[in-house]
Amino acid sequence: MAGFKGEASYASIGSLIGFSGATGAVTAGQVLTEMSYPLHSGRIAGLSVQAVTAGTGAGSTVVDVLLNGVSIFGAAGDKPTLSAVATGVFAMSPPAVRALKYEDRISIIVLSVSTTGHARLSATLAFQKA
């Protein structure tokens, strides 16, 4: 998997994959996937978020990655975001927090949507050795 924009690609040792389902729009607060990190130490190597079906309204769909309940992104504008009427890859900045330790809880959630959220939304978070 490619690393974050402007960074080299790294061999991943695992991934966390979330999918909203084949039908129906995502809703604010929807958990796409969640897990406990099973290795002793690692780091987030890359993240990709995409939507196949557009939503409606003037706003955007925003996704967040939580590490033990706290966003890994430093500012609200850094989180994966896609205009409601667009499809494809969400724009984002690299996260501020990337280190992982044994039993960290990682969640990928839909933070907010416009009038109607995107459908067929997928997210992949890749891990590598620390």
Residues 61-95 pLDDT 10s: 999 999 999 999 999 999 999 999 999 999 999 99
Average pLDDT value for the chain: 91
Domain ranges of the chain: 14-128
Residues 89-125 pLDDT 10s: 999 999 999 999 999 999 999 999 999 999 999 999 9
pTM (two decimals): 0.90
Residues in CB range of 89: below 8 A, 6 or more apart: 48, 49, 50, 82
pLDDT on residue 1: 46
Phi, psi for residue 56 in degrees, rounded to 5: -135, 160
> What is the CATH number that goes with domain 14-128?
2.60.120
